[in-house]
Amino acid sequence: HVCICVLKSTSSQFDAVLWMLASGALFTAHVALGKFLSNNYEPGLLAFFRSIIALVWVAPFLMRMKLSQFKTDHMGLIITRSLFGTAGFLLAFYSYSAEFGIPLSQFNAISFSRSLFIVILAATLLKETVGPRRWIATAIGFIGVIVMVRPSSGIELGSVLALGSALCFGGAIILVKTLSRFHSPLVLLTYANLLSAVLTLPVAIVQWKTPDNFQDISLIALMALAGVLAQSCY
């Protein structure tokens, strides 16, 4: 019986690793598309497009669900999670936009620091046990982040925004970990994108530009799809 439990646990962890790898690949595709589109569209507008079109992609699945499944006693946490997530996406779009323009490789490297923030937040907020090896690895990771940001040669604003994005995503992920005990991933995904669309709407109105060609429309739709799939895998 013990052997069966261990095998199940190992299999479950292996599945989780595969989901994380898929999420990382999809998130990279999402970022690359956002970087390309930022040449023609403002970051706040891209964040709005991403959220509102993500709801279109999940609409067929939502139609199969009952409204009672969206009832929640944790709206405060859901709103806080959406605030973190929206801020993370906005800061990300701005960090590699044409205005601030850090290289995509630099943004992607800095974005992995969210894993380091998650370790700290998991220990402080979720009270998870973090052993000495993980603390040492986290400390080494932050040294690597300092090297990437290169404070000795002057910190780029884009790098600071990317670091802020990683911190916000770390907070959002911690709250998803908590909320997933009460709601399915699809419910959390829907709330996140719906509230994000509402939060970014004022910025989108100011920066509005209607996509006027098939290529831009297709790439924006693909960016939203990659983003919503990355969230789902996570």
Alpha-carbon span 102 to 211, nearest angstrom? 25
Residues 59-85 have pLDDT tens digits of 988 888 888 888 988 899 899 999 999
The answer to pTM > 0.85 is no
Count Cα neighbours of 5 within 13 Å in the Cβ-side half-sphere. 2
Tokens linked to 169: 């995503």
Give the tens place of pLDDT for each residue, 99-111.
767 787 788 778 8
Instruction: Give Dmax over CA atoms of the chain in angstroms.
Output: 62
Distance of alpha carbon 105 from alpha carbon 75, whole angstroms: 36
pLDDT band with cut points at 50, 70 and 90 for residue 5: low
Position 93, amino acid: F
In this structure, the number of other CB atoms found within 10 A of the CB of residue 156 comes to: 16
CA distance 174 to 157: 26
* Interatomic CA distance for residues 84 and 82, integer angstroms: 5
Q: Could you give the 3-state DSSP secondary structure of residue 11? A: helix
Q: How confident is the model at residue 87 (pLDDT cuts 50, 70, 90)?
A: very high
